[in-house]
Amino acid sequence: MGASAVATQQAVGSDLLAVLPNDGRKWYQRGHIVYLQFCLFSLIMFSSANGYDGSLMNGIQALDQWHEFMDMPTGAWLGFINAVYWLGNGITCCFTPYINNKYGRKLLVYIGYIFMALGIALCASDKPIGFVLSRFFVGCASACWANVVPLLINEIAYPTHRGIASALFNCGWYVGGTVAAFITFGTRNMANDWSWRIPTILQVLIPVLILPGLILSPQSPRWLMSVDRHEEARAMLEKWHAGGDKDSLLVNYEMIEISETIRIEKEAHSSASYAEMFKTPGMRHRLWITLTVAVFAQWAGNGVVSYYLSLVLDTVGVTSVTDQTLIAVGINIWNLIFSVTAAFMVDRLGRRFLFLASSAIMFVGFVTVTGLSGSFAASGNAATGIAVIPFLFVFFAGYDIALTPLIISYTCEIWPYRLRSRGLTVALVTTVIAIFFNTFVNPIALEAIGWKYYFVFLIVIVTMAITVYFTYPETRGHTLEQMAVVFEGRDADVAEPAETVFRSASVVSGKEKTAHVID
């Protein structure tokens, strides 16, 4: 078996590998997959909304013009201004599963655009409350996108690309963060409110640019099958996965596997509900992972740097607005590079390896940041304060290789179809609660005890490593429909074994084919 075949088997397993097409062409030589990749890239960029917000708030909090407009917010009020974005996000999350499951995977994305337009319109207000309300509605828009786009990516991606495409979704955070950091850096010297109004209004830039990709994207074949629109689902798979080949073994395989798994789920469970998440050991295991990964992703120390970088830099003597905004730009570019690289490695290295490596690197980085911050507080030595900066980058390298790409993708893939939207909602609501707590409490704690607050995050990182090692299973090598085997064992409610499915697909197609790999 060649290297490409080995890599593909790691991604989807030998079962699906057996029905891939055999003409030897790469994926970029297939027009239908290139077209699909364009749509997926557009969908991935929806995560830029959250990253833009974090970087935006970092940047404008370094601007005297914004502080004057907002009447010099500090402590709890500053925390609320940051947290209100996540308040809107959390409230909206509660309604998303119903819309996702009843009306498909695209309607909610368009609703998000309405919230975004309302939020941007409020930026014109000459009152501080207008800015606060603007952040609330932009948070609602972000929730609409974050609660459905990862599902759509997982459910329409070409099988051998699903793991990477899903992991790349959250990496778009840093695209938004980098754009916001550059814009804020460019407007920092304006002597009026436009120094922060321009970056705030331009939150709409990336969503507008990616709108064509959303419009062109197909509907989820899994949702179509769940509402008994099987012919439309087959047409989607034939067009986007097989380039119009009606005899495709891959499409036959996917149709049998998806439809049978959804049928079995419906027969075993009359309706999906949050209560079902507690009923079996496998479901409780999924719920444990969903809750803990969401908490770790926000309480590992990144929340302090993401929203309060200027306050962190103040504590180590870096107070220049130019220096702070440049560091923010550098961190976002650094994060983008490491998170994207890790996303492309999820199938080669595996999820568990990335989680454990992430814990180790974050611990080294944050221990050093804590030690240097304490030394600077005691000595006031400028060199010691500046030495904190590279270790902030080390910390984020660790964060980026697991918690950026996997918090969404790992959560989406472990839940069965009927609970996938609810599982993602639980993860995002938990994330919102953790962020809301962080953004409200962090400035108070930093103001009160400074660098000593970092010890809390060191404890969280160690707890994460222990939790991952003992309770997070490896999921690579399984399709979405086969994932139940990881949690329920061989007796799970899944479709027939691949040998039978392959035989059935061969009968349906009327011919035998030798499988090959699309790289």
Two structure tokens written together for 63: 């601007």
512 pLDDT tier (thresholds 50, 70, 90): very low
**Cα–chain-centroid distance for residue 96?**
16
Among 2.40.110.10, 1.20.1250.20, 1.10.540.10, 3.30.565.10, what is the CATH number of 3-508?
1.20.1250.20
- Whether 245 shows a pLDDT value over 60: the answer reads yes
Confidence category of residue 515, pLDDT binned at 50, 70, 90: very low
Q: How far apart are CA 122 and CA 135, in angstroms?
A: 9
Quote the pLDDT of residue 514. 43
Are 26 and 518 contacting, i.e. CB atoms less than 8 angstroms apart?
yes
What are the tens digits of pLDDT across the range 95-143? 888 899 899 999 999 999 999 999 999 987 888 899 999 999 999 999 9
Task: Output the DSSP codes for 443-475.
Answer: HHHHHHHGGGGHHHHHHHHHHHHHHHHHH----
362-378: average pLDDT? 81
Q: In the prediction, which pLDDT does 291 show?
A: 96
Least confident residue range of 437-446, 461-470, 498-507: 498-507
What mean pLDDT comes out for the span 350-371?
Answer: 92
What local confidence, expressed as pLDDT, does residue 513 receive? 43
Between 494 and 33, name the one with better pLDDT.
33
Inter-residue contact 436 to 86 (CB < 8 Å): yes
Instruction: Report pLDDT for 439.
Output: 67
Q: What is the mean pLDDT of residues 41-60?
A: 84
Flag whether pLDDT at 319 surpasses 90: no
CA gap 251, 255 in Å, rounded? 6
What pLDDT band is residue 480 in, cutting at 50, 70 and 90? confident
Higher-confidence position of 176 and 292: 292
- For residue 215, name the pLDDT band (cuts at 50, 70, 90): very high
Mean pLDDT, the chain, whole residue set: 84
DSSP secondary structure code for residue 105 in this structure: S
Closest CA to 336 of 458, 180, 113, 139: 180
| Tokens matching residue 212 | 């064509």
CA 365 – CA 236 distance, rounded (Å): 46
Q: What is the pLDDT of residues 297-315, one digit of tens each?
A: 988 877 666 555 666 677 6
Name the range with the highest mean pLDDT among 320-329, 369-378, 404-413.
404-413
Alpha-carbon Rg for the chain, nearest whole angstrom, is: 23
Q: What is the pLDDT of residue 342?
A: 95
> What is the structure's pLDDT at 4?
58
The confidence score (pLDDT) of residue 510 equals 46
Residue ranges per domain, the chain? 3-508
Q: pLDDT tens digit string along 177-212?
A: 888 888 888 888 888 889 889 999 999 999 999 999
Q: How far apart are CA 357 and CA 337, in angstroms?
A: 17
Question: DSSP readout, 132-182?
Answer: HHHHHHHHHHHHHHHTTHHHHHHHHS-GGGHHHHHHHHTTHHHHHHHHHHH
Of the pLDDT bands very low, low, confident and very high (cuts 50, 70, 90), residue 58 is confident
Per-residue pLDDT averaged across 90-95, rounded? 87
The CA-CA-CA angle for residues 201, 205, 208, to 5°, reads 125
With a cut of 70, say whether residue 354 has pLDDT above it. yes
Separation in Å, CA 148 to CA 44, 81, 101: 11, 26, 10
Token pair 């399709």 is found at: 479
